[in-house]
Structure 1
Amino acid sequence: MGVDAVLMRVERRGTSPKRRRLTPMATALDHDDAFVRLVDQIRGRGTNPMLERIDPYRSLILTSVEMPQFLQELARLRLLAMTTEDLRVVREFEDLARECATNPMLQLHLDGD
């Protein structure tokens, strides 16, 4: 029931969505479901709308434009980290989000099981 993050490069040739190609660039895996547990701790408070959109059974695609807000919310999530695994997962997600923020051709895919 974990959520993994995949940094994807989006290539668009022409205007047709059929010509869109996604290439995985980097991945952060949540083997122990640490990220989902941390998100569940803040769910329902209304202060982290992007994190609350994360569903452990579905995918959420974020663009480079959304990364500043996502990084702010991840920083708040990092404060809840209790174990080294919690901290590792949040930092890896932050690394991918920072990279995504630098390039409009990138997307961050948060993929549930």
Structure 2
Amino acid sequence: MAISDEMRDYRTKQTMETFGFLGSFSQEQVYDQIAYALEQGWTPAIEHEHPSEAFDRYWTLWKLPLFGVQSLDEVVEELEACHRAYPDHHVRLVAFDDYTQSLGTFFVVYEARG
């Protein structure tokens, strides 16, 4: 039984993010998710990786995690800066929950084709 391209995309996208089983987020939905993470007190961080290596190893951290950042605009500016610096990479937001010492969420904001 051959796997369709749609199913293959679903399987690979699912391993890249918390919401991999959903369709792509709109810009407003991305902002809502960032705002939610900030409201929870989670620490945002930005990671990037070339599509050819996104499933083989850990992603590269963009700068340090954004400790103490509470502004949606600051997080969005850093996401855009990372995307400008690495336009051929996937860029995802990771939010760390300090209380449980675990990931609160992570999702791809910019998906590169490659």
TM normalised by structure 1 equals 0.29
Normalized per residue, the structure richer in helix is: 1
TM normalised by structure 2 equals 0.29
